[in-house]
């Protein structure tokens, strides 16, 4: 069978928006034959394969150009160097075997006489994982399933030819692919509703956690890591502050196979070397990092789990055995158990966790407070999560509060419920300014941190933030709801005397009551005429 020729490379999109639009059109190619959860795997796998291949070819061109410019290498020497895997791995580029390269697949987009394009892609994924141990068990091999329309899959490859994940500087391949991958995760999460939200935390929420904790170096851990968004945002934070992301060692665990694979792929895309365990697994049933003492823990555990692997004798329940009907305080204690001597943690949980007393949760919360582990509580606006209407909050823990400003015996409460803006009828988002407002308050409370200098010293702001002592929290029966502590915002005096305000309000109320009585009489009269 004659191979298809690709004489000229297709003209690629010129902007990130065009690139995203092109790739989303590619996803639509398979929408009719696959469920969202299935075509997500198909599309993200192909996006990754395209990125890997483009990056490989770009590096291959660089090697050739460098050796030719040197002038001391023969054609045979150059060809030998082009096949040296170390020339690629040393530059952070995956080795791509010949039959896994995009051009090889694109030329066979309609299949061959003996194999479908789906079979060829499956083989390519296998060879890619075999050649790169870091990708082992990561890439999907589902392209020849009965539900995958092979004609549409071939058209999909043609469309992907217009996307190029190469470049320099701000538009380097890894950054491009990383942004596209995150865009797709968000789109698929929205399409899948609650199921998608199980592995996707809104970027604004993740940024609040990262900006408040300011992870710089050491071990970072997420016990329910989803698609790896916490790690990616930590990497972005370090790059924004001109720090080497490789100074962070990544550890994670994920219970869902598909999501675990996505996370591994996401880390690979962003150049992060992470230990997500040898496989997926339940954090409560089998902790894959039993000896880990982390410097930072970032987590968005599933809320209010009723069916979980509970063992009353588990050593992690130092502050009390969590109730069988809710895993929230199991997550909190697991996270605290993972903190090193100066470790810090930020956790997303349902609002009910701040005040619940059922199943012994109140006693556990009291012990966590009295142990001086809770550093801050943040109440977030509603509708940040498209997948759930449950109001959420942020818990922050610190094993040592002796920062530039010693906050031992204190907890910072922030009520951020009035922040954010609606992006559509169903979803609210936090702006850069909103995130900075929350994070800078925490930074100022702790004193000048190493990376970001606070604009001003910390002060309590009625209606927004308050630094409470452990004695005050005890007096509130250990409830950690920020609204109990921050009070109400000061109301600007409008210059109108209070007695005058009362008279005005009374007058308005009497007028409203008179009008209500008049309308009642009219309605009764009309009903009488009908009877």
Same domain for 231 and 145? no
Tokens at residue 75, please? 């054609």
Same domain for 22 and 110? yes
Q: Of 105-114, 129-138, 498-507, which range is least confident?
A: 498-507
Q: Per-residue pLDDT tens for 235-272?
A: 889 888 888 888 899 999 999 888 898 888 888 877 78
Q: Which residue has the higher pLDDT, 517 or 172?
A: 517
Q: Is residue 37 very low, low, confident or very high in pLDDT (cuts 50, 70, 90)?
A: low
Q: What are phi and psi of 375, to 5 degrees?
A: -100, -35
pLDDT at residue 5 above 60?
Answer: no
Does residue 497 sit within a domain?
no
Give Cα 176 distance to the centre of its chain.
Answer: 18
Same domain for 277 and 299? yes
Helix (H) or strand (E) holding 38: helix 36-70
Does residue 174 sit within a domain?
yes
**β-sheet bridge partners, residue 397:** 345, 374
Same domain for 110 and 242? no
Give me the domain span that covers residue 304.
196-486
Q: Dihedral through CA 9, CA 15, CA 21, CA 24, nearest 10? A: 70
Same domain for 168 and 249? no
Does residue 46 sit within a domain?
yes
Same domain for 64 and 157? yes
End-to-end CA distance of the chain: 87
Same domain for 157 and 207? no
Same domain for 214 and 267? yes
**What is the mean predicted confidence (pLDDT) over 63-92?**
88
465 and 456 Cβ atoms separated by less than 8 Å: no
Q: What is the CATH number of the domain that holds 146?
A: 1.20.1260.30
Nearest residue to 298 (alpha-carbon basis) of 397, 186, 202, 375: 397
Task: Among 187, 216, 239, identify where a domain stops.
Answer: 187
- The number of CA neighbours under 13 Å toward the Cβ of 485 is 30
Q: Which residue has the higher pLDDT, 192 or 286?
A: 286
Rounded to whole angstroms, the Cα distance separating 361 from 383 reads: 26
pLDDT at 105: 95
Same domain for 259 and 349? yes
pLDDT at residue 507 above 80?
Answer: no
Same domain for 217 and 178? no
Q: Burial code of 133-160, b = ≥16 C-beta within 10 A, e = fewer? A: eebeebbbbbbbeeebbbeebbbbbbbb
Does residue 505 sit within a domain?
no
pLDDT at 192: 59
Q: What are phi and psi of 346, to 5 degrees?
A: -130, 130
Does residue 142 sit within a domain?
yes
Split into its structural domains, the chain has a count of 2
Same domain for 170 and 233? no
Does residue 172 sit within a domain?
yes
Could you give the percent of the chain with pLDDT greater than 70? 84
**What is the mean predicted confidence (pLDDT) over 203-228?**
93
pLDDT at residue 12 above 70?
Answer: no
Q: Which residue has the higher pLDDT, 34 or 94?
A: 94
Same domain for 212 and 169? no
Q: What is the CATH number of the domain that holds 293?
A: 3.40.50.150
Rounded to whole angstroms, the Cα distance separating 433 from 115 reads: 54
Does residue 493 sit within a domain?
no
Does residue 324 sit within a domain?
yes
Cα–Cα separations (whole angstroms), residue 511 to 91, 502, 506, 515, 518? 79, 14, 9, 6, 11
Could you give the percent of the chain with pLDDT greater than 90? 49
């Amino acid at each position: 069978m004659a191979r298809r020729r690709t004489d000229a490379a297709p003209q690629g999109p010129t902007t990130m928006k065009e690139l995203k639009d092109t790739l989303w059109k590619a996803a639509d190619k398979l929408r009719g034959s696959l469920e969202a959860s299935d075509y997500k795997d198909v599309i993200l796998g192909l996006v990754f394969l395209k990125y890997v291949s483009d990056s490989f070819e770009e590096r291959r061109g660089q090697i050739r150009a460098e050796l030719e410019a040197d002038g001391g290498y023969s054609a045979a020497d150059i060809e030998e160097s082009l096949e040296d895997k170390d020339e690629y791995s040393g530059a952070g580029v995956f080795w791509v075997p010949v039959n896994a390269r995009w051009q090889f697949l694109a030329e066979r987009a309609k299949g061959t006489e003996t194999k479908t394009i789906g079979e060829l892609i499956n083989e390519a994924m296998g060879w890619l994982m075999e050649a790169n141990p870091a990708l082992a068990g990561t890439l999907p091999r589902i392209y020849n399933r009965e539900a995958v329309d092979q004609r549409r899959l071939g058209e999909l490859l043609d469309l992907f030819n217009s996307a190029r994940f190469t470049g320099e500087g701000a538009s380097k391949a890894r950054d491009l692919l990383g942004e596209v991958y995150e865009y797709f995760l968000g789109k698929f999460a929205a399409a899948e509703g609650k199921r998608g939200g199980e592995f996707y935390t809104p970027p604004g929420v993740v940024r609040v956690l990262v900006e408040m904790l300011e992870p710089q170096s050491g071990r970072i851990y997420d016990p329910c890591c989803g698609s790896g968004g916490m790690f990616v945002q930590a990497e972005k934070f370090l790059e924004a502050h001109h720090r080497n992301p490789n100074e962070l060692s990544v550890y994670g665990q994920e219970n869902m196979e598909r999501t675990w694979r996505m996370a591994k792929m996401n880390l690979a895309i962003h150049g992060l070397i992470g230990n997500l365990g040898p496989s997926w697994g339940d954090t409560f049933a089998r902790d894959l990092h039993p000896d880990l003492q982390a410097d930072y823990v970032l987590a968005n555990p599933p809320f209010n789990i009723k069916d979980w692997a509970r063992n009353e004798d588990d050593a992690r329940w130092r502050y009390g055995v969590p109730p069988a009907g809710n895993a929230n305080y199991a997550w909190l204690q697991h996270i605290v158990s993972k903190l090193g001597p100066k470790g810090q943690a930020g956790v997303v949980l349902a609002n009910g966790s701040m005040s619940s007393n059922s199943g012994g949760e109140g006693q556990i919360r009291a012990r966590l407070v009295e142990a001086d582990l809770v550093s801050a509580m943040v109440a977030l606006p509603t509708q940040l999560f498209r997948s759930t209407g449950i109001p959420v909050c942020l818990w922050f823990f610190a094993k040592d509060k002796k920062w530039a400003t010693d906050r031992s015996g204190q907890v910072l409460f922030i009520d951020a419920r009035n922040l954010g803006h609606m992006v559509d009828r169903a979803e609210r988002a936090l702006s850069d300014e909103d995130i900075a407002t929350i994070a800078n308050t925490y930074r100022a409370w702790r004193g000048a941190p190493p990376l970001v200098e606070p604009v001003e010293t910390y002060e309590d702001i009625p209606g927004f933030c308050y630094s409470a002592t452990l004695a005050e929290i005890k007096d509130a029966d250990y409830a950690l709801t920020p609204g109990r502590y921050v009070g109400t915002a000061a109301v600007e005096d409008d210059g109108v005397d209070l007695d005058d305000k009362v008279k005005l309000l009374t007058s308005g109320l009497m007028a409203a009551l008179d009008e209500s009585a008049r309308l009642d009489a009219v309605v009764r009269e009309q009903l009488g005429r009908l009877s």
